[in-house]
Amino acid sequence: MFCLSPFCPQEVSRGPIKLREILWTNRKPVSSVNEVWPKLYIGDESVARDKTRLSSLGVTHVLNAAAGQHRINTGQKFYTDIEVVYHGVEAADHPEFNLQPFFNSAAQFIDRALKENGKVLVHCAMGVSRSGALVLAYLMIHQSLTLAEAIMAVRLCRDIGPNSGFLEQLRKLELNHLYLLNLCMSFMTVMFYV
């Protein structure tokens, strides 16, 4: 169900218009939580605050993409009684907000949890933009998917819609990965012939 082609230099994601088309066609109603990758869930604020539901899902880690006093102010203390590991990202859901500095730390948090056989809930207010963007970054960084592949993989299970600024930042992440991959391949080629 989640098998997609590996990341390769020839697979650059389509432009922003095509990516938005992938995101916004054939939309389905969004539920409060969906498993979008094995043991990785995207949800909204209601499921993040429902400790009984989190326990029934077996969630061991929560990544709050809307953390902070004036947003969804949960935190590690909120989850103490159900032994959930918490990571907060104080992100605003507007195109001018720079989410890029959080891509790696969020992806590492998710990856560590999954490698420990945990289950991760990534949430924001509605489970659409901020949380969607951070899950896409994880899939690109740790599962080697292109942005288009990551979007299609998540959309099999949940409609997401990172805002235009987040989408552009994810495209930059993809281009940076391509640059590094090409650099490594060039270095390996040089080393082979030396």
User: Out of 3, 124, 157, 184, which one is annotated catalytic?
Assistant: 124
Active site residue 184: no
CB neighbourhood size of 30 (10 A): 17
Residue type, 135: V
Measured CA to CA, the distance from residue 192 to residue 82 in angstroms comes to 53
Q: Which residues pair with 41 in a beta bridge?
A: 35, 121
- Residue 76 DSSP label: G
* Interstrand relation of 85-88 and 61-64 (parallel, antiparallel or unpaired): parallel
Q: Are 154 and 120 in contact (CB under 8 A)?
A: no
CB neighbourhood size of 129 (10 A): 25
Residue 70 corresponds to which tokens in the numbers above? 């004036």
Residues with active-site annotation: 124
